[in-house]
Amino acid sequence: MTAATQSDHITQVTAAVRNPARPKKLWEGLFLVDTGAVDCMVPGKHLRALGLKPRGKRIYELADGSEVTLNVTVAEIEFMGEKVGATVIYGPDMPSRFLA
């Protein structure tokens, strides 16, 4: 999982998401890197497929200044052989993913 692409100042990387309670099961996807972000966003359908359940909600401010409340949970993220625990946002079930 070391794939990274960069075009027009947009960096994308391949990373794996795991349920810490079931580390053998994973979902791997291409993520957009946002160096200003704190949390990771993953399509909710993949988090549900891993058996992850929402642990709370957080309010996020969008680029246009509006606010949105989204479900969050904790997952293990693996990138370039490093594994860390992270707050993960239940994103829309479409291909947009963000990695902080």
Q: Residue 85: which pLDDT band, with cuts at 50, 70 and 90?
A: very high
Could you give the 3-state DSSP secondary structure of residue 47? helix
Residue-level pLDDT at 39: 93
Of 79, 83, 90, nearest in space to 30 by CA: 79
In the 8-state DSSP scheme, what is residue 45? H
- Max Cα–Cα distance, the chain, nearest Å: 39
What confidence tens digit (pLDDT) does each residue in 16-67 have?
Answer: 999 999 999 999 999 888 888 889 999 999 999 999 999 999 999 988 999 9
Q: Residue 1: is its pLDDT beyond 70?
A: no
| Cα gap 26→57, rounded to integer Å | 23
Domains of the chain: 4-99 (2.40.70.10)
